Amino acid sequence: MQYGYFDDLKREYVITDPRTPWPWINYLGNEDFFSLISNTAGGYSFYKDAKFRRITRYRYNNVPMDSGGKYFYIRDEDTVWNPGWKPCKTTLDAYECRHGMGYTVIRGSKNGIEAEVLCFVPLKTQAEVQKLTLRNQSGTTKKLKLFSFVEWCLWNAATDMENFQRNFSTGEVEVDGSVIYHKTEYRERRNHYAYYSVNQPVDGYDTDRETFFGLYNGFDEPQTVMDGAPRNSVAHGWSPVASHCLEINLDPGESKELVFVLGYVENAQDEKWESRNIINKDKAKATIARFDTAGKVDEAFAGLRAYWDNLLSNFNVRTPEEKLDRMVNTWNQYQCMITFCFSRSASYFESGIGRGMGFRDSNQDLIGFVHQIPERARQRIIDIASTQFPDGACYHQYQPLTKKGNNEIGQGFNDDPLWLILGTTAYIKETGDFAILDEPVPFDNVPGSEVPLFGHLTVSFDHVVNNLGPHGLPLIGRADWNDCLNLNCFSSDPDESFQTTENKTEGSKAESLMIAGLFTVYGRDYAELCKRLGRDEEAARAQKHVDAMVDAVTKSGWDGEWFLRAYDYFGNKIGSRENEEGQIFIESNGWCSMAGIGLGEGLVEKALDSVKERLDCEHGIVLNQPAYTEYHIGYGEISSYPPGYKENAGIFCHNNPWIIIGETVLGRGDRAWEYFRKICPSYTEPISDLHKVEPYVYAQMIAGKDAFRPGEAKNSWLTGTAAWNFYAVSQYILGIRPAYDRLEIDPCISPEWKTYGVTRKFRGATYHITVNNPGGKMKGVSSVIVNGKPVEGNVVPVQPAGSVCEVEVIL
C-alpha cells in the first residue's frame, strides 16, 4: 500500500494520508539552524547541536507516537482542527503534505476553510519561517480563532528530561507585542535566547504550558483552545510555551497570509541587555523584519529553491529506469546533504543527545556530497582530522557545537583512522585541491600540535601497520565498522554499554578481515597519492605493507568459499564454516572483494557467489548467517539482538553497496543492479505499509529473513547507506568516476540497458556523457569520443573551467 506519490517535476514527495505507518519526516535548514518536521507537523528545532542548543521540546518513544511539534489550532465555531490532522485528529475534508528540498508544505481543509502552512529555514538565517495561508472556500463569512503553539525546551535536551527540581523553577519569558521570547537561564550563564513571532497584532497569548493546556489535557484538547479564550499567561518557572491567538474574519473567497518566525539569537556578553533584565532584541527584530510580509517570505523561498536546483545540477542522470532517475537526481543526493549536516545525531531514531558527529560516519558521508559543496567538505575534513591523536587513533565522535572529541565514547575503534584517507582522497579527486594536504591540523585540538594534513594520513595508515595481530591482520580494537562485533568486551552486565565498557585489548588476538580489506583499498589510495606528490619512498613503503596485507588475507583469511570475518580474542575463527552460527558475514566479503584480493585465483567470484547463495533474500543482503540464537559473550552486542534485526542477520543497508561494488569488480552488472533495486526506496514504495519508514530516503536497517516481519525498515535518513548507495550507483554502476587528473568512465550495467546519459559538473566544466550499449554488454568500454575526437582508453581529460564537453561512450 502507498500513502502518497513522487512529484518529480517539483522534487517533492506528496503524502495524501496523514496516517502513515511511521512519521514521515523532512529536514529544514542546511547550515546551523535546523528543524525536523513530520507529515503531521511534529518535530523540533535546534541550533547546531540537538543536545546543547535544543530550542523546542520533543518526546521520543511517546504514546501516541510523534506527539509534540509546531501546531496551528483553528477554531471554527465549535470545531477545532489542525492543517496536519494531528494533534486534534479531527477528520479533515482534504489533506496533503509535500516534503521538498529543505521545505515542507502541509495543507488541510475543513468546513470550507483551507489552511496551508509552508515551513522552511531561509538561507543564512537562524530561524524557521512559517507562512500560514487561510482561504475561505465556503459561501459564508467565517469568524475563526487561530492559536499557534510551540513548547520551549530548556536548552540542554538531556537535562531537560532529568533535572526537574531545577527546571521547574528556571523558566523565563518576555512578551513584547506579537513576539514571545524564551530567555530561560539567559540572565545567568547563557548568551542566547529564542523567540516566536507573528506579523500582525495578536488578540492574546499564552506562555505557561499548564495554563494553555490545563493540567490534565493533552495536545489534542488544549483548554485555552477549547474555550476559545487565551489567558495571557506569563510563565514563571514550570514549563514555558509560546502561543499566539488571532481572531480572523474571512469573507467568501477571501484569503489571509500570516508569517510566523521561530528564531535563535546569540549576543556578545557586553550586548546582552537592553535595560535591566530586558534582553537585547535587536538581532531578533532584524530577522523578523526580513520576513514581515508574505512577499518577503516568497522571495526567500525562491532563493532556497534556486539553491537546491544548483546543488542538484552537479550530477544528473537519464536512464531507462524512472525510479532510478528520481533517486539519483533528487532524493539520494538530498539525503546525502542531510547526513553531511547531521551525521547520526538527530532523526526520529536518534535523539540528538547521545551521539555527535562520527569520525567514521562523517568521512563516509563525504563521498556522497563532495561534488555538491566541496568547500564545506574541505572544512569538514579538517574538523575531523583535528580530533585525531598523534598515534593515528581518533575520537569515535565529536560534538558539532565545539568540534572537540567526545570523551564519553572515547576511541579504540580500529577502522576509524582509515576513513580519513577515503574522505581526503575523495575530496582531492573531486577538486584537484592538493593544497589541503599542507593545511596545519592539530592533534586532539591542542594548539601547537599542528602538522600538515598529510601527516594525519600517514599516522592513519600506520595505525593499522602498528596494530597487527598474530596472523598479520589488523587488530580490531573496540570494534571495526560493525560497532556491535565486540570481541574485547565480555560484558555480562546489562547496565553497561557494549561500546563504552572496558576495552580488554591487552593480550587480545582479535583481528578483523573487514579492516584488512579496507586497509588494502585505501592503503593503495594512500600509496597512489604519495606518488602524485613525488614521495616515492613513502609510496614504496606503503605498497609493501599493502602487499603484505594481501598475503595475510590470502593465507589466513580465506575459509574455502568465502572470506572469514574475524579472529576472536583467543584466536578462534569468526565467519567460518567451523562456526555453528554466524558462518558468513557481509563486511569482509564486501571489502576483500572491493580490494580484488585473490581476483585472479577466483576468490572474489567464489566469495560473492557465497554471498548470493547464503545472504541474499527478497529485501536485500543480510549481514550474517545463520543468525545468532543465543548470546555469545565473546562476540558482544551482535548476538544480543533477536534474529533478523540490526547486526544479527538484519539487512544492514549501509554495507549492501560494498557487495554491489564488489560485483562490478567482477563485471556482473546484472547482479549489481539486482542488489541495488532491492533496497532502493523508490522501488520499495509499493510496500510502504510493510516497510514503514519514508519511501523517499534510505533506511539503515531492513528486517532480514529470520525476523518476525521481514522487510520492515528502521533508522531512516541518518545512515551511511545514503552516501554509499550514491557512490556505488554513480561511480560503479553508471561508472562516472573522478580521479586526480581526469574522469574515468567505467560502467557496469544491466545488459538490458541500451543507452543512458549523465550530466556531470566537474572542476568548473560540464560534461554531457552518453553511454551506448548496442551489444547488450555489462562492462567494458570499447571507445570514448570527446568533443568529436577519440581518446585513448576510458578516460576523459579535465576540461577548461566554464567549458561544455560532449562525451560519447560505446560499451
Residues with active-site annotation: 483
The residue type found at 342 is F
Are 734 and 713 contacting, i.e. CB atoms less than 8 angstroms apart? no
The answer to whether residues 428 and 434 touch, using CB atoms and an 8 Å cutoff, is yes
How crowded is residue 253: how many other Cβ atoms within 10 Å of its Cβ?
A: 10
For residue 464, count other CB atoms closer than 10 A to its CB.
25
Q: What SS3 string covers 768-805? A: EEEEECCCCCCECCCEEEECCEEECCCEEECCCCCCEE
Rounded Cα distance between 785 and 625, Å, is: 46
Instruction: Report residue 745: phi and psi, to 5°.
Output: -115, 110
In angstroms, rounded to a whole number, what is the distance separating the alpha carbons of residues 761 and 309?
A: 13
One-letter amino acid for residue 364 of the chain:
Q
Residue for grid cell 518476525: 708
For residue 224, report the phi and psi dihedrals to the nearest 5 degrees: -60, -40
- Distance (Å) of CA 287 to CA 29, 34, 126, 195, 283: 16, 16, 8, 11, 6
CA-CA distance, 475 to 509, in Å (whole number)? 7
Q: Which positions ≥6 away from 480 have C-beta within 8 Å? A: 413, 414, 415, 474, 512, 514, 515, 518, 587
Rounded Cα distance between 440 and 207, Å, is 49
Question: Three-state DSSP class for 359?
Answer: helix
Phi, psi of 736 (to 5 degrees): -100, 100
Residue pair 92/81 in contact (Cβ under 8 Å)? The answer is: yes
Residue with cell 548507495: 725
**Closest to 381 in 3D by CA, of 429, 313, 316:** 429
How many residues are present in the chain? 811
C-alpha cell of residue 112:
470550507
- DSSP label at 331? I
Listed in sequence order, the DSSP H helices in 260-399 are: 282-290, 294-311, 322-326, 332-342, 359-369, 374-385
Under 8 Å between Cβ of 52 and 156: yes
**Phi/psi of residue 381, nearest 5 degrees:** -60, -45
List the beta strands (DSSP E) in 650-802.
651-652, 699-702, 713-716, 736-739, 742-745, 755-762, 765-772, 783-786, 789-791, 795-797
Residue 586, Cβ neighbours under 10 Å: how many?
A: 26
Strand partners, 106: 97, 117
| Dist. CA 481–CA 655, nearest whole Å | 10
